[in-house]
Amino acid sequence: MFQFWFEFASMYSYVAALRVEPECARAGVTVAYKPFLLGPIFAEQLGIKDSPFNVQPVRGRYMWRDLERLCEKYALPWRRPSVFPRNSVLAARVALAAGPAIGPVTRSIFSANFAEDLDISDPAVLRRSVQRAGGDPDRALALAQSPELKAQLRENTDEARRLGVFGAPNFVIGGELFFGQDRLEDAIAWAQRT
Amino acid sequence: MFQFWFEFASMYSYVAALRVEPECARAGVTVAYKPFLLGPIFAEQLGIKDSPFNVQPVRGRYMWRDLERLCEKYALPWRRPSVFPRNSVLAARVALAAGPAIGPVTRSIFSANFAEDLDISDPAVLRRSVQRAGGDPDRALALAQSPELKAQLRENTDEARRLGVFGAPNFVIGGELFFGQDRLEDAIAWAQRT
């Protein structure tokens, strides 16, 4: 099982989200989508309530430039979001609520945040993301507010903690953790070997 | 000019140091070796006097595993150092003192730290590193203590700051900064385009 662990507020997760499906398909590997929340993990591990890229401005400046270059390299649309990081709690629940459509819905939400500079904490933006991905927005938004979905997102975040996650995105194969979108190829090779 | 900015205490710099020369040679790119000190930069930017991998144990645990996998991938010898990070001030000065032999001396010192678990702050270890790289240990160790070499290392660290460095290793082409050993191929492609 090839798991893709991501956070909708994370810019490197955007690059991974748009690359993971075609790369895995080419290798004959099936992707399991695992949205989680990085906020609580950063709070616990770093004692911060913001992105490390904001807390460390020199590093942050580089990361934005790096993202620009990566999007050019992989021919991905890119617009630097006017708000970073965006609140991603509802977005993550909506993705989980999409069931088998979680792949297209995930890409659609990431594109809203990082290619269109839209506020992915706004239910109207999320409705449109679900719709464009061919899902049922009424159903997804209603389900996203249910206790079951809220619990599922908390469980995902707990599982990420247990896996030793400290950032996003990650790829996990049988407990073996690969951190960073630049480890996608290594993770796929690992999945094919095991 | 393709600059390789590295820190002898940094484990990812080890991987980069052993990969940079063959990859650049294949691409017809000449490497300029730029040792610098990450300690003062971490102190200023993060307020820490240790490696972030020690300060953040969850991240640190992953990084050691990642290093193991990378060394297997690139067929590099690897022994986890019993002391991390090691004091690298004298090592950096000795590398600068090697003049045109800085490439082989750099690889030799990195191998002492990360393949042989030797203390690279020990002058005897550094003498042996220079000797194995075909350099003159007496000359290098004497020169390393000179005011000129001390100033040169301080200037390198100042230049790293000006370039926006926040970690190691880095590749810099005409002011364009690439951070991380995993950006080596992208940096070479950039050098070839410009």
Q: Is A25 exposed, middle or buried (0-12, 13-18, 19+ CB in 10 A)?
A: exposed
Please report the number of interchain residue pairs, chain A to chain B, with beta-carbon separation below 8 angstroms. Answer: 45
Q: For residue A167, which residues of chain B lie inside 8 Å, CB to CB?
A: 59
B180, pLDDT greater than 90:
yes
Query: Can you read off the two tokens belonging to residue A168?
Result: 């996003």
Question: What percent of chain B has pLDDT above 70?
Answer: 100
Query: Can you read off the two tokens belonging to residue B187?
Result: 């940096």
B110, pLDDT greater than 90:
yes
Q: Against a cut of 0.90, is the pTM above it?
A: yes
Cα separation of B34 and A171, whole Å? Answer: 33
Cα separation of B91 and B35, whole Å? Answer: 9
Residue B194 confidence (pLDDT): 86
Q: What pLDDT digit, counting tens, does each position of A108-125 carry?
A: 999 999 999 999 999 999
B191, pLDDT greater than 90:
yes
Query: Can you read off the two tokens belonging to residue A186?
Result: 């290594």
Chain B: residues touching A (Cβ < 8 Å):
45-46, 56, 58-59, 61-62, 65-66, 69, 73, 164-167, 177-180, 182-183, 186
Exposure string over B129-152, b if 16+ CB within 10 A, otherwise e: bbebbebebeebbebbeeeebeeb
Cβ of B61 and A164 within 8 Å? yes
| Helices B102-114/B89-97 angle, 10° precision | 150
Which residues have CB under 8 Å from B132's CB, separation 6+?
B108
Cα separation of B115 and B104, whole Å? Answer: 15
User: Residue B179: which of A62, A73, A166 has the nearest Cβ?
Assistant: A62
Residue B119 confidence (pLDDT): 98
Cβ of A61 and B164 within 8 Å? yes
Cα separation of A111 and A91, whole Å? Answer: 12
Query: Quick check: B124 and A21 in contact, CB under 8 A?
Result: no
Phi/psi at A72 (5° precision): -65, -45
Query: Quick check: B19 and B184 in contact, CB under 8 A?
Result: yes
Walking along chain A (194 residues) 10 residues at a time, the average pLDDT comes out as: 97 98 97 98 94 93 98 98 97 96 98 98 98 96 97 98 98 98 98 92
Identify the helix (H) or strand (E) that includes residue B34. Answer: strand B31-35
Q: Closest Cα of chain B to A23: distance in Å?
A: 18
Which residues have CB under 8 Å from B58's CB, separation 6+?
A45, A164, A165, A166
Query: Can you read off the two tokens belonging to residue B193?
Result: 């385009």
Q: For residue B16, which residues of chain A lie inside 8 Å, CB to CB?
A: none
Interface test with B, best of A61, A66, A181 (most B CBs within 10 A): A66
B60, pLDDT greater than 90:
yes
Cβ of A164 and B58 within 8 Å? yes
Query: Quick check: B104 and B135 in contact, CB under 8 A?
Result: yes
- The chain B residue lying nearest A69, using CA atoms, is B186
Query: Helix (H, G, I), strand (E, B), or coil: what is residue B159?
Result: helix
Cβ of B167 and A59 within 8 Å? yes
Q: Closest Cα of chain A to B61: distance in Å?
A: 8
Query: Quick check: B33 and B1 in contact, CB under 8 A?
Result: no
Number of Cα atoms under 13 Å in the Cβ half of residue B178: 22
Residue B165 confidence (pLDDT): 98
- The chain B residue lying nearest A53, using CA atoms, is B166
Chain A: residues touching B (Cβ < 8 Å):
45-46, 56, 58-59, 61-62, 65-66, 69, 73, 164-167, 177, 179-180, 182-183, 186
* Averaged confidence pLDDT in chain B: 97
Cβ of A166 and B59 within 8 Å? yes
Cβ of B62 and A186 within 8 Å? no
3-class SS letters over A114-154: HCCCCCCCCHHHHHHHHHHCCCCHHHHHHHHCCHHHHHHHH
Q: Closest Cα of chain A to B95: distance in Å?
A: 27
Query: Helix (H, G, I), strand (E, B), or coil: what is residue A59?
Result: helix
Cβ of A167 and B46 within 8 Å? no
Residue A117 confidence (pLDDT): 98
Q: What pLDDT digit, counting tens, does each position of B19-37 carry?
A: 999 999 999 999 999 999 9
User: Residue A164: which of B62, B165, B177 has the nearest Cβ?
Assistant: B62
Q: Closest Cα of chain B to A192: distance in Å?
A: 15
